[in-house]
Amino acid sequence: MSDKPLLQVKDLKTYFFTASGTAKAVDGVTFSLDSGKTLGIVGESGSGKSVTSNSIMRLLPKNGKIVGGEILFEDKDLAKVKMSEMLEIRGKDISMIFQDPMTSLDPVFTIGNQIMEVINAHQKLSKKEAREKAIQVLQMVGISDPEQRLKAYPHEFSGGMRQRVIIGMAIACQPKLIIADEPTTALDVTVQAQVLDLLKNLQKETGTAIILVTHNLGVVWRMCDTVMVMYAGKTVEYAEVKDLYANARHPYTWGLLKSMPKVTDDPNVPLASIPGTPPDLKLTGGSCNFHNRCKYCQEICMKESPEMKEVAPNHFVACHFSKEELEKMGGSIDE
Ligand SMILES: Nc1ncnc2c1ncn2[C@@H]1O[C@H](COP(=O)(O)OP(=O)(O)OP(=O)(O)O)[C@@H](O)[C@H]1O
Ligand SMILES: [Mg+2]
């Protein structure tokens, strides 16, 4: 493995231009990811997790544009490559798994046809070879009787099976990176765990890197090596998972960690939540986006957006105040 990360996203900005103003959906996202590793992206609904993922894939609607930053993937900047080049990269080097498998599967074609189409998109195989490869894909994702199942239509599969097929299709071309945007949210808890285990095991075999967007911090703990916390379009904290759980530095991350249920919780005590709501993304800028909800907000927080700082090796935080300064104000994860 080379020393250079597989993917480096630096100060990415993706804005949406609407009749009522410019929404800064992604407004300073920074992280890196090595081959074979998994990055979790967490943050409240609307914080820009999907827009970040879709920017890497360059899957943005007409009114959405990458207006700044870099997406360095191997030796290319995906923020700037031509669309024709991006089409080559999609599916071959980077695959995406969406929350709802029905958005990726076409109801009028058989499962077999759809897997073969993906396989054929980037490699020239005979029909027989493609069919054999499709059977292997179904076997790989644990679907029994694969020869028969190739003839089935998506509606004949359960939600969990459909998501297994999608994972198989994503992995079939041995991409270097898989972006999974809430891949198991639509599934029940047991199936969720099976699908995530499958993804992790396939990752061990293929060495692919994964970006996993999730609301579930338990999933991050189980699956990820590093984690990026997003708030209102910005990276507020990025660290190795163990470090983040042991040493979270940003007041928003504290709130997020406190809102995670634990087995030892008293069921009569309601879970902690962060009071207030995120800002309107058309109005952000010129202050810390979290200032109106932060217990430790000071004058500077209302006037300047904090820069990302490396506070410990590979641990980045965007807060005007250090851990010690926050502690002096009475700040800690237990407050
Ligand atoms: N086409 C669009 N036009 C204008 N604004 C958009 C568009 N698409 C997304 N946004 C805005 O970008 C912001 C970030 O959205 P995004 O879908 O990335 O959130 P998310 O973190 O993935 O949330 P969730 O957890 O609910 O999936 C939201 O405020 C959303 O309203
Ligand atoms: Mg989303």
Do residues 130 and 120 make contact, with C-beta atoms less than 8 angstroms apart? yes
Do residues 115 and 172 make contact, with C-beta atoms less than 8 angstroms apart? yes
Q: How far is the CA of 22 from the centre of ligand 1 (A)?
A: 13
| Residue pLDDT, tens place only, 15-30 | 999 999 999 999 999 9
The beta-strand segments (E) located in the chain are: 7-18, 21-33, 38-42, 64-73, 76-77, 94-97, 177-181, 209-213, 226-231, 234-240, 309-312, 315-317
* Predicted pLDDT at 264: 67
Q: Which residues touch 224 (CB under 8 Å, ≥6 apart)? A: 38, 39, 40, 212, 241
Report which protein residue has its CA nearest ligand 1's atom 6.
Answer: 16
Strand order in the sheet with 7-18: 21-33, 7-18, 64-73, 76-77
Whether the per-residue pLDDT at 120 is higher than 70: the answer is yes
Closest CA to 228 of 216, 242, 244: 244
Q: Which residues touch 154 (CB under 8 Å, ≥6 apart)? A: 101, 102, 105, 106, 107, 111, 162, 165
* Predicted pLDDT at 252: 95
Whether the per-residue pLDDT at 51 is higher than 60: the answer is yes
Residue the block writes with tokens 């969990």: 160
Report which protein residue has its CA nearest ligand 1's atom 29.
Answer: 46
Beta bridge partners of 9: 31, 71
* Residues across the chain: 335
Whether the per-residue pLDDT at 45 is higher than 80: the answer is yes
Q: How far is the CA of 36 from the centre of ligand 2 (A)?
A: 24
pLDDT over 70 percentage in the chain: 95
**What's the rounded Cα separation, in Å, for the pair 255 and 333?**
7
Mutate to test the pocket of ligand 1, among 12, 14, 15, 16 (most ligand atoms within 8 A of CB): 16
Q: Which residues touch 310 (CB under 8 Å, ≥6 apart)? A: 316
pLDDT-derived band at 160 (thresholds 50, 70, 90) equals confident
Whether the per-residue pLDDT at 2 is higher than 60: the answer is no
**Stated pTM of the model:** 0.93
Instruction: Copy the structure tokens of residue 272.
Output: 């902690």
Which residues contact ligand 1 via a Cβ below 6 A? 16, 18, 23, 25, 43, 45-51, 61, 63-64, 281
271 vs 193, residue with greater confidence: 193
Whether the per-residue pLDDT at 265 is higher than 70: the answer is no
Mutate to test the pocket of ligand 1, among 50, 55, 99 (most ligand atoms within 8 A of CB): 50
pLDDT-derived band at 271 (thresholds 50, 70, 90) equals low
* Predicted pLDDT at 272: 67
The DSSP bridge pattern shows strands 309-312 and 226-231 to be unpaired
Report which protein residue has its CA nearest ligand 1's atom 3.
Answer: 16
Measured from the Cα of 61, ligand 1's closest atom is 1
The DSSP bridge pattern shows strands 76-77 and 64-73 to be antiparallel
First-last CA distance in the chain: 42
Cα 261 versus chain centre, distance: 21
At CB < 8 A and 24+ separation, what contacts does 326-335 make? Answer: 326/249, 326/251, 326/296, 329/296, 330/296, 331/251, 331/254, 331/295, 331/296, 332/254, 333/248, 333/254, 333/257, 333/258, 335/254, 335/295
Q: How far is the CA of 211 from the centre of ligand 1 (A)?
A: 18
Do residues 7 and 176 make contact, with C-beta atoms less than 8 angstroms apart? no
Report which protein residue has its CA nearest ligand 1's atom 19.
Answer: 46
